[in-house]
Amino acid sequence: MAKHYVLGLMAANRCGILAAVSTALAELSGNIRDIRLTVVENYFTMILSADFPDTRDPAVIVGHLEGVGRPFELSVLLRDPGADQAFPAPPHDCQVFQLTLTGNDPPGVLARFSARLAREQIDITDMYGWRSNQESPVILLELAIPTHVNIPDLRTELTEIGRGFGLEARLDFVRSGSTRDPRPLRTRLPTGSQPMGER
């Protein structure tokens, strides 16, 4: 019987890091089920879920990955989803919306918006930020909104929060159901935009 784990990995971004990680997982008989990868400020970051033989000790998994990734200064965090059932799962009966924030970017913007979303158990399933060629920051958040939430009221509140920070907040419907779109938010950037930090 397979044992399921979620792993978070971070390392200096150098050629060969993915090859090293995937080789180490294969040596551990790990079967990847889901994976995300991005590079931020020249740091490679990845989160994945994988099945391992039930006899594979978690400490061995972490130790082997860190050993193989030592040339990249790889750090590894392992979590057992089965042991974290005390945390409530996001609701499945939801609709997917995209929240777009454009304009000013003072401290506290994400804290204020995410706190408002959390009040109604709205799950942030993806997020991406960048600056346009005119240096105007833009943040995209993909939201799984439970069907009981009053969308017009929420849209009005988010608009008001944005106005208080001097930015525009736009909430757009994407699709029904909680099925994840495999395309990352950055593939939906408007023409003429680039990631934050790449300017």
The predicted-structure confidence for 126-147, as pLDDT tens digits, reads as follows 898 876 556 678 899 999 999 9
- Give dist(CA 54, CA 61) in Å, integer: 12
Nearby residues of 168 by Cβ (< 8 Å), 6 or more positions away: 100, 101, 102, 103, 162
* pLDDT value at residue 130: 77
Locate 127 and state its tokens. 């997020």
Q: What are 5-19's pLDDT values in tens digits?
A: 999 999 999 999 999
Q: Using CB atoms within 10 A of its CB, is residue 164 exposed (0-12), middle (13-18) or buried (19+)? A: exposed
Q: Which of 192, 197, 180, 189 is nearest to 13 (CA)?
A: 197
For the chain, which domains are there? 2-83 (3.30.70.260), 94-195 (3.30.70.260)
What pTM was estimated for this model as a whole? 0.74
* pLDDT value at residue 137: 80
The low-confidence residues of the chain, meaning pLDDT below 70, are 85-92, 131-135, 177-199
Burial per residue of 108-124, b for 16 or more beta-carbon CB atoms within 10 angstroms, e otherwise:
ebeeebeeebeeeebbb
Mean pLDDT of the residues in the chain: 86
- How many C-beta atoms surround the C-beta of residue 101 within 10 A? 23
Alpha-carbon separation of residue 92 from 84, 96, 146, 178 (angstroms): 18, 11, 8, 6
* pLDDT value at residue 185: 56
